[in-house]
Amino acid sequence: MLQAFIFDMDGVIIDSEPIHFDVDIQTMKYLGHDITEAELEIYVGMTNPAMWKSIRQEFNLNQTVEEIIEYQLAKKISTLRGLAIEPIDGIKELLINLKEFDIPVAIASSSPRIFIEEVLSKFGMENDFDCVVSGEEVDKGKPAPDVYIEAARQLGVDVKHCMVLEDSRNGITAAKAAGMRCIGYVNPNSGNQDLSQADFIVEDIGEIILEPFMD
């Protein structure tokens, strides 16, 4: 029986992967290197520190991970604030439906908490979730299950009764490793993502029907 619904954020609540790709490419140019969107796709769903640690090693960057993230995150927040953007179609309706069933909801995102809060504030959704967990607040980020396990703990729900909505291979791997069911959302702007581990795959948030999971 469904007792909690946990949302990834980037590419699920906000169509932000194009922002991430663009700013990360700009950040690499600032650091004196070129990187392509295709090269960045493998990092979708991962935390900033994990991504930049890997990229830093690959490109032998002189800057520390902390210095890179400081530049990148400031640029992302500035970009977000300047955009006219709405939540992904169907998200608000899904939240209303979950509330009608009295199902608690959470966000479990790899983004830093400051970026999560910026997104929720922009959309006026600060009070729509029972808890918010950043992947940078647990021991290991996605594809490890820690962020989803922590979200379930904060909601007070057994992992086996949780459903996750994800758009990335790393996120789905994390949800399944946590022992949760997972809906894979096909977001073309999230790049070439393997969603085959998901229990269900949708191309539109409006395809998600809760009734079958309530018994």
The catalytic position among 10, 15, 128, 167 is 10
Largest CA distance in the chain: 56
Alpha helices in 9-157 (DSSP H): 17-30, 37-40, 48-59, 65-81, 91-100, 113-123, 146-155
**Dist CA 64 CA 62 (whole Å):** 7
Question: What CA–CA distance (Å, rounded) separates 204 from 207?
Answer: 6
Selected catalytic residue, list 8, 24, 146, 167:
8
Q: Is 194 a catalytic residue?
A: no
Q: Is 90 left (phi over 0), alpha (psi -120 to 50) or beta?
A: left
Q: Is 8 a catalytic residue?
A: yes
Residues with a known catalytic role? 8, 10
